[in-house]
Chains A and B, each alone.
Chain A
């Protein structure tokens, strides 16, 4: 009968963890109720933002339109907004590890580069295309086909030339270098914008709050706050300007770290398990080497999980001086929950390792028993 009895310790742990998650779930439904109450609050975000070049203006799109037309109009408005901030919010070439990365993109002044406006070859090609009829005046089918083929060929060459010049320009033009930190959020009514190559946050300042029964109405206006970093709400990242030398140095350093981490991961989670399986198949399951392998796997997994979790907070501490309070990192708990499975796997490996350690001791005893 005892064979089928449930472990008391495992039961106690299961009950405690279930209770914990139950409380969390109850908490979530509780917060949903709070949100419901919050619905009664009327928040009037200021629409008058001419000071920011209509960047945040809420364009009215008739939502009774067929969905695809509505979506198209909405997208084109979003594109216009994006264009106004182009280059800066768009990701550049870069390298990331976790939430930290280094990026470079064309300097703001150089973004609107149009090779067709300056290149004489392209100008000539365009002239030819515009006046194609004067080069192929004939009206016969053969002449028309010849003209069309020539036009097609010219378009291809024209595009190739433009891409070639753009690539050349990209390679030589002045660039901006950034240290990028991901995972930053901001309030919906706080906006980032650029004006005269300076970075600003538009923050709502509430002028009045009126309570009418259950309803609360807020009225306010935007104020600008100059900051020294760039923020991309789309990618939820802040970009801190750094010098080219610093960029090259730190990127090199990051490359080394990536290589080391990759090596460690491959060694620990591919090399060691293979070695372990070989030892077991050779009839040496309980050896010092296998014990060591389990220990390394557990410690590495926990270290990597902790590094992943703490990395953004550590970087935030380093650059706290530059990052305004309006931009905040996601809370710690969701980050821990997202990597909870790593801790669970580490726990399982630890338990298996303990069993192997015990086996190793028994093996030693057996070897030294005459």
Chain B
């Protein structure tokens, strides 16, 4: 079986708003293989959540999605109608959301919500569905699984609910799981547990995992590959090692400068911050999106769109006019490389 679980090329999401057309996601490309974790990192509003919704075809009605390629394990999702998509969702592709407290229906038991995920896509008896539910609840680390089945969501803590959400996604054995900020709403101690759980499950079931987050610490923990998003575009992409050790794009460097990195950040040195705000994505404008806040910006940066280019190691790409060598020296100067 092919290793590639998800192939996305030139994905755009446009949303008509009062003031014009909001280009929320602009021509991004990425891929995920079996057994691989891709982390999409970016600040609020950069378009990372919309990206995941676009892949699942769960965008709001007004949104317009286009792409050159959107393939799940070789199947083209672009032409797939709603019927086919609903067969795929929860089956070969699953999604976990950010707010475990409200992601489960308060009127039905945990068991009911787990079993319905399986029964929708497979001809199984209630007994079989129940057994699978118990099996997965134990897999996600919930003890006394059988008694949990008859409990209601409000009787569980946030961490437990998120584990249940993960179990629900696993019911049909998907090829790909998209987790949109799965730990943001949880306590810090629980965060680590959930992340490790996701990594373990991914290994055990040989799935692809896309983890969307704004937290670089999370990325450092479990990412195989990283895509850094800013203002609707991917500005840097590569393996975790490449992006963390040789951050090339000024935005990535700025991000890393904002957090203390053991071994790299000097004691007593003030943490960096990136001045300015994210630009408005409504209407047409051809420019590097980061230019306004970039300390290395030149005239050419604002004249046209910037394409991705290769950095100094294979598979490592970034979107900037500056050449890799200059970027590298900047990074070293910043103390983030």
Do A and B bind? no
Residues on B facing A (Cβ under 8 Å)? none
